[in-house]
Amino acid sequence: MSDFSVKPVLTGDRTVLRPFTEADAEVMAGIIADPEVIRFTGPPAAELTLERLRSWYGSRSGQPDRLDLAVTDRATGELAGEVVLYEWDPAARSCTFRTLIGPGGRGRGLGTEATRLVVGHGFEQLGLHRIELEVYRHNFRALRVYEKAGFTVEGVRREADLRDGEWVDWVVMGLLDREWAALRPTAR
């Protein structure tokens, strides 16, 4: 089991996942401020100034315990969002996954492919045993993406968050290495 210090470039048919740089901060600021992103991820815990975002995205490549990758459109190079493997538990060979895709990247399969690419990297290159995530029950697009990638609903944290005056549920999903392996076509 290696750690997360190597920041790969992962290439699919539609997307290229690459390490972040400071230069990505401005585009990510717009994505993070998108009303749909806020609706499904919550408002940022602190004010995200451009300076803070530059520092954050500029420091992602130096983090040995997590993997933050920029999701880009392979055809145009446009930055569409991010995928993150974090909360790494080396003893349990597990981590948590999250993603966010901005308005320019939605509805084109970029999120689905990016999820598969980074999850595959986690299992096949990093030797993870389990990847888990939490998603709002009302985030139907994300639930569908995660199901297509092989994640299974493991439970629901009922009324775990108060959003816009309403209680909302978190759906807990997980994927194990053997389940991922069973989804992959065998090499011939």
Instruction: For the chain, 188 residues long, give each residue's pLDDT as a single digit of tens.
Output: 567 889 999 999 999 999 999 999 999 999 998 988 888 887 776 677 889 999 999 999 999 999 999 999 999 999 999 999 999 999 999 999 999 999 999 999 999 999 999 999 999 999 999 999 999 999 999 999 999 999 999 999 999 999 889 999 999 999 999 999 999 865 44
Cα distance between residue 112 and residue 105, in whole Å: 11
3-state secondary structure of 13: coil
- Residue from 101, 34, 98, 33 nearest 72 by CA: 101
State residue 84's pLDDT score. Answer: 97
Residue 161 in tokens = 């968050």
DSSP state of 187: P
Distance of CA 19 to the CA centre of its chain: 13
Residue 77 in tokens = 């190079």
H or E element: which one contains 152? Answer: strand 152-163
State residue 11's pLDDT score. Answer: 97
Sheet holding 67-73: strands in order across?
10-11, 15-19, 67-73, 79-89, 94-101, 130-136, 166-176, 152-163
Cα distance between residue 3 and residue 29, in whole Å: 28
- Residue from 72, 71, 94, 69 nearest 84 by CA: 69
